[in-house]
A and B are shown apart, each in its own frame.
Chain A
Amino acid sequence: MGRRENRKQVACFKLTGTGIKMTQYLKWLFFWGMVFATITVDIPLGNAQEDINYRLKWLFNTSVAGDLYALDMGYFKKEGLSVAVKAGSPERDAIRELELGQAQFGVASADQVILARSKGSPVIVIAQLFQKNPLQWIYRAEPGTLSNLSDLKGKTIGITYGGNDETIMRALLKKGGIPEKDVTLFSVRYDYTPFYRKRVDIWPVYINSQGIILNDKLTENGEKTGFFDPSSYGVRFVANSVVTSLKTLRERPAMVQSFIKALLEGWKESLAPENKQKTLSVLKKYDRDTPTDIREKQLAITRTLIIPEGDAHLGYIDREAWRQTEQIMLEQGLIPKPVSVTDILFQDGFGPTQKKQD
């Protein structure tokens, strides 16, 4: 009996051992399965998803009024598109998302686009939203503060190291023949205390967002302000544009056409003076933190930055400004060699009045 029982026990142990091994194996399989699933869910390939993702450059604010208007007023739906407009941030790069297939359209600044192209990214610009760069420098308008470039000498200038305001300021200093030792560059961050405390003379702002808030605060304090606009000194560094991948443009031209049509229609309507209240309510829905009076002022300035001068249409791609942007980046060593900027810009143009000289 003893021997028989022992055999039974041994067999039982063997089975249990196999069971344990099996469970471990299943656990192992489950773990790696989950890892694989996470990776594949996080990085969808190509056009696997049907919905269109549109990644903005920054958070929802007045600078994206037209994008939100097109979404909220159903312009995308009218074109048969299901678009998710997603807020951006410095960590979220629309161009990377285009390549990874996480977004089909995005907003990127010209320097981002040129840099990406210099590294082989198949990105293409299909519309230039900002005809004028909103990046300017605010200063206290005391007599003789800043009436020409040479007035920058001896000033403490705020810049975001690595940001495009650094590139623009360096281009301005070069244009004005001002060596860097004649100015003090101050590293700018999220809080404006150094500017309020007058440690910094001129502070970089987006004129249609923080520019208004800072201006209002200083005005309340009885101080006069001014804005230093690089384009007044011939530096036309292109700001935000709508981008897509070359693959999307080649494989789904009709979808791209519909998207850009809806988007530009949204921008046009959002900036129309008669739609002001509608636009403000759309903005309020997505950006609850900005007071209405500030938002109203932001919208008025945004209008002047988006609507092109002359007979050009909304979204007009200013090729000359793009060439200048590329030249500045080359001179500052931000790209190793020219990228043939015209290859980045969508040749055919979506508007009826893309200028002939392009």
Chain B
Amino acid sequence: MLARRVLQFLIVFASGLIFLMILKYSLTLSDYVIPSPLDIWHTGKDILTVYFFDTLNTLSVAIIGQIISVFLAFSVGIGARKSTFAGSFIKAAAYNIQAYPIVAVAPIIFILLGDGFITRLIIAAMICYFPLLLSIIGIMSEPVTDIEHFYNVTSRMRWQLEVKIRAFENMHKLITVISGSTTLAMAGTIVAEFIAADRGIGHSIRIALYQSDLSRILTALFLIGIFISVYQGMLEWAGERIGNRWHVSN
């Protein structure tokens, strides 16, 4: 699964590069607009180590942000799964906050909290949290009638049991949602670094952008893609194992 994800990413990235090269050579564009393969290779070789650790730094913040988001989303999602006022209120609030562009909100966070680790974490969690919350509310508020009916008519239904049934029956969906939120957490961290932080791959991309250096940007994108693929692959693998174990124990 892991190897397949990485391979898929490599195919997508290579296709993108080939498209750029077709564009470059068919329109006879200079290395300033689209760098040559040799230039990309040399730049990549020179900065690979630095960018590797930058991406690792970004990923570590993204993972923490994602864990926080998942916990928060589950807590709120479980609380809001009933069609009560609280549930619809949380949904409406999540939709509204999700609509705010983070670049507009980010400066307020920077003024309040500075531009360190916490700010990056909050922005990553913010970008990741709301879509996750809406998906989890959606999944957890959908009754599994066949099973729940039995417990309801025998008056043995408790909220813990209800959550368990719904989580178990929708395990595949939940794993997909959590795994998908990796990209959001990573994107959130990169946005935060791009706007304010002085470390991480987002910060490096910002510098490369100021220097009009597409080779560096492509190297950064390559590493981000590889890291996300590996992390997502690992999440899916872990999710599958948990699902199988749960299935066996039940």
Q: Do A and B bind each other?
A: yes
Q: Taking beta carbons and an 8 Å cutoff, which residues of A are in contact with B? A: 43, 45, 90-91, 93, 95-96, 99-100, 112, 115-116, 119-122, 160-163, 187, 189-191, 193, 334
Contact of A116 among B27, B32, B195 (CB under 8 A): B32
Known: A120-B32, A193-B110. A90 touches B27 (CB 8 A): no
Residues of B with C-beta under 8 A to A193 = 110-111
B29 within 8 A of A: yes
Nearest-neighbour CB distance to chain B for A133, whole angstroms, equals 16
B11 within 8 A of A: no
| Most chain A beta carbons < 10 A, residue from B31, B208, B212 | B212
CB contacts under 8 Å to A, within B98-130, are: 107, 110-111, 115
Q: Contact between B211 and A96 (Cβ–Cβ < 8 Å)?
A: no
Residues of B with C-beta under 8 A to A190 = 107, 195-196
Known: A189-B115, A189-B196, A190-B107. A99 touches B209 (CB 8 A): no
Known: A95-B32, A96-B32, A187-B198. A116 touches B212 (CB 8 A): yes
Contact of A115 among B35, B111, B208, B212 (CB under 8 A): B212
CA distance A120 to B30 in the complex (A): 5
Contact of B210 among A43, A95, A163 (CB under 8 A): A163
Q: Taking beta carbons and an 8 Å cutoff, which residues of B are in contact with A? A: 23, 27, 29-33, 35, 39, 107, 110-111, 115, 195-196, 198, 203, 206-212
Q: Contact between A90 and B210 (Cβ–Cβ < 8 Å)?
A: yes
CA distance A341 to B206 in the complex (A): 27
Nearest-neighbour CB distance to chain B for A334, whole angstroms, equals 8
**Given A120-B32, A190-B196, 20 other A-B contacts at CB below 8 A?**
A43-B23, A90-B210, A91-B209, A95-B32, A95-B212, A96-B33, A96-B212, A99-B32, A115-B211, A119-B35, A119-B39, A120-B30, A122-B30, A162-B206, A162-B207, A162-B208, A189-B115, A190-B107, A190-B195, A193-B110
Q: Contact between B107 and A100 (Cβ–Cβ < 8 Å)?
A: no
Residues of A with C-beta under 8 A to B31 = 119-121
Residues of A with C-beta under 8 A to B198 = 161, 187
Known: A90-B210, A112-B212, A190-B107. A121 touches B30 (CB 8 A): yes
Residues of B with C-beta under 8 A to A120 = 30-32
CA distance A115 to B33 in the complex (A): 11
Nearest-neighbour CB distance to chain A for B49, whole angstroms, equals 18
CA distance A187 to B206 in the complex (A): 12
CA distance A334 to B198 in the complex (A): 21
Nearest-neighbour CB distance to chain A for B237, whole angstroms, equals 34
Q: Contact between A191 and B212 (Cβ–Cβ < 8 Å)?
A: no
Q: Contact between A93 and B110 (Cβ–Cβ < 8 Å)?
A: no
| Most chain B beta carbons < 10 A, residue from A93, A99, A163, A189 | A189
Q: Top 10 closest A-B pairs, CB basis?
A: A162-B207, A162-B210, A119-B32, A119-B31, A187-B198, A120-B30, A121-B32, A121-B30, A116-B32, A99-B33
